[in-house]
Each structure stands twice: as structure tokens, then as C-alpha cells.
Amino acid sequence: MIQKERRAFGLSALYTPNLLIKTLDRLLGFSHINDFVERPEIASLETLPFLDHVNDHFGLVSRFDPSLDSIVGKSGAKIIVCNHPTGLAETITLCREILKIRSDLKVVANAMLGSIKPLAPILLLTDVFKDGQQQANAQLLKQALKHLQSDGLLLLFPAGEISHLHSHGIIDGPWSYTPLWLAKMSGASLVCIHADSENHSSFYQLRKINQHISTAFIGKALYAQRGKPVCYKCSSAISFSRLPNLTKNEASEYLRSLTYSMQTSYQPAKAFSIHSENLAISPETALLEQELGRLEPLLQHKQFTLYETKSAPVPNLMLHLGIEREKAF
């Protein structure tokens, strides 16, 4: 009986390969990735040397916050959370850099990576393509918690999927409470890392149609990342006990917002336009100053002044504030 071929990465790593699956793997770029990672001299490597070769082969470029080494530290339970703008580029480059600092890294990752042998020692796998994952996810949480209770280092992408295109940039969807629960149960501190990168706009258009379809294109998207720098910024370590008293959803959003607050600016995706109404024309500065001059300041501190007023006496100021708000959001 002939054993059907299973490749390390791509659709054929998840499904029994047939002509259609093999054809799709070639079209989606997975076959080319497999040809590289399955070379005997590559497949036999330890995790960090393997990631070094992958990084060089695909021409990935990364720039890291200089404080990363000291924040991650050489020991102690920590949970690193990161946004997920492209899929593979930040997974590869971030794991590679962290492993240079600590060898006890574990990563919650897509099952699509599970058959790549050099990555096996660091992966805790979840499968976005399969339903009924509650039991498997419960087991994953137990493994993650045990690792943290042994003073290990854990990396998660709490969105559980690649970012989406919004009018103000490439942004994750809602984050899971999982890293916060793990921090609460284990006493591990949290470190937020922001990855600044993006795929081609067509990738995010596919995400609007179907999440699984776009996930199947992450192999092809990896090739498009050649030479494009992924820039990282990181927060200081945060103790769960120091976080505000919030509901689970609020706490997850707080962590996500904290991560995105490290982004220098929101940049709309290139080569993709989103229809929006034209902004009103802002009133002349003289009119704004005239209305402001009629108000009594409540409080002054350095360059800031606080005023209280109803909207009717300051129509031009209200219009100007509305315009500035639309520019910001």
C-alpha cells in the first residue's frame, strides 16, 4: 500500500493530500516553503538555527526595541502578547529574537506549523480550521499554565487570527482573555509587544470574504515580506495585580489598546481606498480665539487649560473639535 505524501506545511499538513490539495499547495506557495524546510540539512536543525535559516531564506528584516533583552530577562514567568498583522513574518522574527534571549520559550501557534519538526519543541498548537476544539484548547491551557508555573516564557497572539483592514490601519480584532487568565493563575507578568508590518491589501480584502481563505494565503504572503522591516516596540513588564479592576472584555481591550498605544501612528493600508465623507472646513482661527476668549478657565497646568461651557455659545469651537475628532478616528 502506497503511503500518501504529507508535507510539513500548508493544506497537505492538515488534510489527506490529493491532486487538488497538492495543486493548491503549489499555487499558494506552500510547496516552495516545504521544499526548503524539508531539506535534510534544514529539517535536522535545532529551533534557533532553523529560524535563522528561514529568516535568511525569505529575506525577513526585523528591528527590535533595544529594551527587549532586559524586559524579557533571562528567567522568570512572563507572558508576551503581540498583535498579528501578517501571520508568519512576525511569528518567525519574534520567536527567533526571543530565543536568542531565552531558550524556554513556548508559543501558542496555528496547527499549520505543527509538522515542521524543528519548531516542535516550542509550539503549543491550536487549529483554526477545525470545529469542536474546546477539549483541545482546555488541554492547551493546562500546558501553558504548567509551563508558566515552572517559570517559563510564553508568547501568544491574543486575537487568535491575523489582523483586519480598518479605515485607520491594519488592526487586530477583539483579544482573548486567555493571557490575562494565565497571568492571574500563574502570577506571571505580562509584556505587550507591538509589531508594525502589513501584508498586501488584497490579503485583507480576502479576510473580509472568509477568514479561512485568507489564512490559506499566508504562505504566499510570506514571500511578499522579503526586505520589508517588521518593527517592534515593547512595554515594561506588567503585574496582573496592577491592572485596573475591569470586566474580562474590558481587561482584554485594555491590553490590546496598551499594545497599539506603542504604535507611532495609524497608517491606512497602501493601494486600497475606503470611501469616506469629506470633512467640513474648519472655522478661521480668529473666530476660535474669539469664542475661547469669552470663556473662564477652570484649571491651568503647564501648557494645558481646562474650560467648561455649553455648546450654544461656542458653535465654531464645537465644529472644530468635531473635525479634529474625525481626523483622529
Tell whether 201 and 304 lie within a shared domain: no
Say if 7 falls within a structural domain: no
CA 156/CA 176 separation, integer angstroms: 10
Tell whether 248 and 301 lie within a shared domain: no
Domain boundary among 221, 244, 260: 260
Nearest to 169 by CA among 196, 189, 147, 134: 196
Query: What average pLDDT is seen over the chain?
Result: 82
Is the pLDDT higher at 328 or at 233? 233
Asked whether residue 26 carries a pLDDT value surpassing 90, the answer given is no
Alpha helix segments (H runs only) across 109-247: 134-149, 178-186, 201-209, 211-215, 218-223
- CATH code where residue 224 lies: 3.40.1130.10
Segment 35-57, tens digit of pLDDT = 888 899 999 999 999 999 999 99
Tell whether 297 and 218 lie within a shared domain: no
The cell for 207 is 479576510
Tell whether 228 and 304 lie within a shared domain: no
Tell whether 222 and 323 lie within a shared domain: no
Tell whether 74 and 182 lie within a shared domain: yes
Segment 163-182, tens digit of pLDDT = 988 877 889 999 999 999 99
What percent of the chain is helix, strand and coil (3-state, nearest 5)?
45, 15, 40
Tell whether 173 and 305 lie within a shared domain: no
What's the pLDDT band for 258 if we cut at 50, 70, 90? very high
Tell whether 122 and 177 lie within a shared domain: yes
Say if 31 falls within a structural domain: no
Segment 84-111, tens digit of pLDDT = 999 899 999 999 999 999 999 999 988 7
Backbone angles phi, psi at 112, to 5 degrees: -60, -25
Segment 117-152, tens digit of pLDDT = 999 999 998 865 455 556 667 888 999 999 999 999
CA 283 from centroid of its chain's CA atoms: 40
Residues in the chain: 329
CA 82/CA 260 separation, integer angstroms: 10
Letter for the amino acid at 71? I
Where do we find the cell 467648561?
308
The cell for 328 is 483622529
Strands 164-166 and 123-126: unpaired
Tell whether 315 and 216 lie within a shared domain: no
Under 8 Å between Cβ of 36 and 50: no
Tell whether 148 and 230 lie within a shared domain: yes
Tell whether 53 and 93 lie within a shared domain: yes
Tell whether 246 and 293 lie within a shared domain: no
Say if 112 falls within a structural domain: yes
Domain boundary among 245, 260, 275: 260
CA 153/CA 236 separation, integer angstroms: 15
Say if 267 falls within a structural domain: no
CA 238/CA 184 separation, integer angstroms: 12
Q: How many helices (H) and strands (E) does the chain have?
A: 14, 11
Asked whether residue 304 carries a pLDDT value surpassing 50, the answer given is yes
Say if 154 falls within a structural domain: yes
Say if 11 falls within a structural domain: no
pLDDT of residue 63: 96
Under 8 Å between Cβ of 196 and 270: no
Bridge partner residues of 82 (DSSP): 193
Percent of the chain with pLDDT over 70: 77
Domain boundary among 211, 227, 260: 260
8-29 burial code (b ≥16 CB/10 A, e <16):
bbbbbbbeebeeebbebbeebb
49-59 burial code (b ≥16 CB/10 A, e <16):
ebbebbbeebe
Under 8 Å between Cβ of 9 and 116: yes
**Which domain range does residue 315 map to?**
285-328
What domain count does the chain have?
2
Say if 28 falls within a structural domain: no
Say if 280 falls within a structural domain: no
CA 78/CA 58 separation, integer angstroms: 29
